[in-house]
Chains A and B, each alone.
Chain A
Amino acid sequence: MCLAVPMMVKSIEGDNAICEIDGVRREASLMMVDDVAVGDYVLIHAGFAIEKLDQEDAEQTLALFRQVLAAGGMPE
């Protein structure tokens, strides 16, 4: 039940945003998040953006994965 999907904000009107993933668009309430801009990724759950995705942080995790891959699974 706690599933939520990262979607990109396409447009904002008042406290609502139109968000998109893989060509699917949905309206979501921005009641729970601050400082959201068009182009941001937000996590959508039951019609609400529950958190903004930190893209820099996501890239750091992915970079860590690339290190694990490069090290062939040896602990870094």
Chain B
Amino acid sequence: MIRIENLVKTFGTKRAVDGVSFTVERGEVVGFLGPNGSGKSTTMRMITGFYPPTSGSVTVGGHDVAESPLDAKRLIGYLPESAAAYPEMTVESFLTFAAAMRGLKGEAQKKAIARVVERCFLSSVRRQSIDTLSKGYKHRTCLAQALIHDPEVLVLDEPTDGLDPNQKHEVRNLIRELGRSKAVIFSTHILEEVDAACTRAIIIDRGRIVAQGTPAELRAMSATAGAVTLEAQGATAEKLSALGRVESLDGVFRIYPRDASQAAVLAAAIIELVSREGWKVRGMFSERGELDEVFRRITLPDTVKQ
């Protein structure tokens, strides 16, 4: 549904987005990760037609955003990073405005408003003016606006920013649910959200894609991925080191597999060793890899050099 090719956006001499290409299909939830100022919002603004690209193209549902912006915009629901809404309007009148702009009238309009009010938990503030709302409610009002026409493509810029943990949980569930029938791309810098909601993640740094894959694939890039942590009475590093490189700290050992093929059988080998030696196991688990470690390793080095 979203097809981006060689997208470039420059502001003065700065290349905010520098040759980004990817696609998002229906049924996918793509997490868009990156440090602040990496070009996430700029990319999203080009998808939604707010910024014209310096070069490259964005196609949404077969419509080129630069050439037939209205057709493309009709398919998109967009939550901007600012989550801005007209402060003097009430939630209801704001949603009515959004629905009317999307061509919804009469009964269809009422239904659409009722649906998003329920989905975004806004019924208690329906008649309240937006400037009196707390940040979480404001955010959800803007999210409701993005969902009002049941769009096929959702572009959400930091949809969980400023929400409390319960609301974050709800919004993630909502995103996952919407992702079954729509093409969803959302940006975040909360890595646990990638696990919670994404089918795929793209990591962008200084305008370029530096990694992409399913959450599991990204996690496998972590240095600790596949390592086994063992806490057992009687265990010694010498004996464990036969299986792989061992790190020990306060009687807790972490054994790293020598290579990927060994990773799958490492745990079994350790269990065998433990039972042969008769160690008393207090705890043992396999590391799946840490996303934030991957994220830091991919995006940090250059930042530190500067």
Q: Are A and B co-members of a single complex? A: no
Chain A interface residues (CB < 8 Å from chain B): none
